[in-house]
Amino acid sequence: MAEHDAMMARFVHDYLELLDHRLSSIRNHLEQRNFMTAHVALLSLESTSVMVGADGLALAAGRLREAVERGERDTVPTLLADVTTEAERTRQTLDETAVAEPGQPG
């Protein structure tokens, strides 16, 4: 069990380390109208967010991904702002969790 906890803590640590880059990448792909690549990046963010328990971010990323799929480009800026807001909430929540569990990467 301790090994599993350590692996999960490392996964969360890596998730947080990559979060800003992932958001920046998604933003850039959307701005460059590279919707297929943005879709894949959003799907990745959505699935890994579920894995770390960041349900709000997963839902926001999913809504943006679905809008991209449907070609609803006019909703992208608002939905991207929602993803960014949820990412900050997620970072704060996961950082607080890491502090509450001393000895974990964070």
What number of residues does the chain have?
Answer: 106
18 residue type, one letter: L
* Cα dist from 34 to 1, 29, 73, 94, 97, whole Å: 42, 5, 12, 30, 35
- Of 96, 106, 93, give the one whose Cα is nearest residue 54: 93
The token duo for 43 is: 């799907």
Instruction: Give the CATH number of domain 2-100.
Output: 1.20.120
pLDDT of residue 106: 42
Q: Where residue 101 falls among pLDDT bands split at 50, 70, 90? A: low
103, pLDDT greater than 60: no
Helix, strand, coil percent content, the chain, rounded in steps of 5: 85, 0, 15
pTM score, whole prediction: 0.86
Span 62-71, pLDDT tens digits? 999 999 999 9
